[in-house]
Amino acid sequence: MRHRPCTAYLWVVFGSILFVSTRAFLPTFTAGDYKAAAIEKSEAGNLAAAIEDFRRAIQLDPYDAVGFNNLGVALMRHGVETRNVNELKESYSRFARSMVLKKDKNTKDNMKLVKNYMKSFGLQPGSNKQDNEDDDDLEEWEAHDEKKYRASLKKRIAKVCTNDQVRLTVTQKERAEGILGLKKFKKSLRILNLCGVVVFERLYAPELIKRLRKAQAKVVDDFLKGIEEDIDKTNTTSSEQRSPGRYELVNPLKTPFSDESFVLNPLLAPLMTRVLGSKRLEIDTHSSVTSLPHTPEQHWHRDAGFLFEHEQVKKQLPPHGLVIFVPLVKVTDDMGPTEFLTGSHIQCPQSEMVSKQLGNWQLNECDHTGATVATPASSGSAVIFDLRILHRGLANKSSKKRPLMYMTMFQEWFIDHVNFNDKQTASFDIIPPQLKKILGRIDNKEYTLLLEKTLEDLGVQVSALQSDYNFRKHTFQ
């Protein structure tokens, strides 16, 4: 008996994932062009040609989950029609990669469908134990049995979240191509979701780091000279003393600090969007942190806490932000690398909080938390961590400065009220204490209007200081 696809069902799944293009076929150059052309060819019944264009699309955009799903559907349809078992096998692998890049119900349904077709042809999809373990970690927030999940979580954190395993080395080829290998990408997701921190060794190009190091050194030297003359300049709109001998300074918005290869690095961008679950992300903090020689260790802290109590949501929410540290020199153990309590970004019920001895600190944390890991790293590496993880800077026992770049990547709706204070007007001081919180944002806007009015009174043309770009925040156009 000849097996034929259920065309109506396949087309519903196929059409629900793909966007439909009605434009005429033109010479194609971008991934989007190839994908649109493939859709038109598929609609015309030319699946073989559509498959080739879908292949070109994912070659140009290897992190496009929809693109891999599209190719998987085309291969599945063509494989069933021509009884080509190799195309069915490839279809399954394309769906699997799509799921790695982005969890999606339609893609999951497609995987089940192609498995059924393969079984009807006498084939059995291969089973990869590591893939299954990764999927369990990536879907950990959906666990139906809270107690069972908590029982296994501690074991998984202890097994995976070690000093060696949270580190991944970026190759020269990956830097040149701007693409992480699939296994490395998938492993980084697993580590970040489970441990709360991952280290990419030598992620940034040495040439960029050299320029950043030189520019950052000038910012620091100017700041240190300024506070020698006037100590009141220590904590300002653009500077903050985080602890004795440890200073955070806002970077000027100019090259090399604003270079695309730094702020939107192609090796990191797909990881950011996957973990945060959105492409609508914003850099909130763009600064550097310098630990001077013989600086003592920091206290344990979170850069931002959990949005809700565990009892309110009863499951782990995706992070509202990620932090990226980039050392500008080789940071050794004696230079005070950042130390993390692995797994502390994952919430638990209050009943599962236990007392933890962390050096000289006694803290109440979830029982599932693992070992502490320190993150010494080569210059140009990237230490990426969940905004909610407990961490601290260790003591810089050396005679050298420890400079690193510091960026936070946030969901567009999240505002950090912890690390930097908004400026308020002088009249804010007379607002009753019970109204300060509710009126704080309005007064901050009033502060900006007051500055503009003051400049205008001094004869400054304020409009000349403003951008002419028609920037609509809701569309990014």
Residues of CATH 2.60.120.620 domain(s) within the chain? 137-411
Nearest to 3 by CA among 75, 91, 85: 85
Residue 58 CB partners (closer than 8 Å, separation 6+): 31, 64, 67, 68, 71
407, 283 Cβ separation under 8 angstroms = yes
Average pLDDT over residues 235-260: 91
- Per-residue pLDDT for 14 more than 80? no
At residue 128, the pLDDT reads 45
Average pLDDT over residues 278-299: 92
pLDDT digits (tens, 9 = 90+) for 206-231: 999 999 999 999 999 999 999 999 99
At residue 467, the pLDDT reads 86
C-alpha to C-alpha distance for 298 and 235, rounded to whole angstroms: 18
Q: How many CB atoms lie within 10 A of CB 384?
A: 24
- Report H helices in 203-323: 206-229, 260-263, 269-276, 310-313
- Per-residue pLDDT for 17 more than 70? no
At residue 473, the pLDDT reads 63
Evaluated on CA atoms 281, 72, 4, 39, the torsion sign reads positive
At residue 145, the pLDDT reads 65
pLDDT grade for 2, boundaries at 50, 70 and 90: very low
pLDDT grade for 16, boundaries at 50, 70 and 90: very low
pLDDT digits (tens, 9 = 90+) for 145-183: 667 777 789 999 999 999 999 999 999 999 988 888 888
At residue 405, the pLDDT reads 97
7-126: CATH topology? 1.25.40
At residue 474, the pLDDT reads 62
At residue 12, the pLDDT reads 34
- Per-residue pLDDT for 477 more than 70? no
C-alpha to C-alpha distance for 251 and 215, rounded to whole angstroms: 9
C-alpha to C-alpha distance for 238 and 297, rounded to whole angstroms: 23
pLDDT digits (tens, 9 = 90+) for 337-347: 999 999 999 99
At residue 74, the pLDDT reads 94
Average pLDDT over residues 125-137: 46
137-411: CATH topology? Jelly Rolls (2.60.120)
C-alpha to C-alpha distance for 244 and 224, rounded to whole angstroms: 13
Q: What is the DSSP letter of 335?
A: G
Residues of CATH 1.25.40.10 domain(s) within the chain? 7-126
pTM: 0.77
Residue 116, classed as helix, strand or coil, is helix
At residue 63, the pLDDT reads 79
Phi, psi of 38 (to 5 degrees): -65, -40
C-alpha to C-alpha distance for 224 and 246, rounded to whole angstroms: 11
Residue 27, classed as helix, strand or coil, is coil
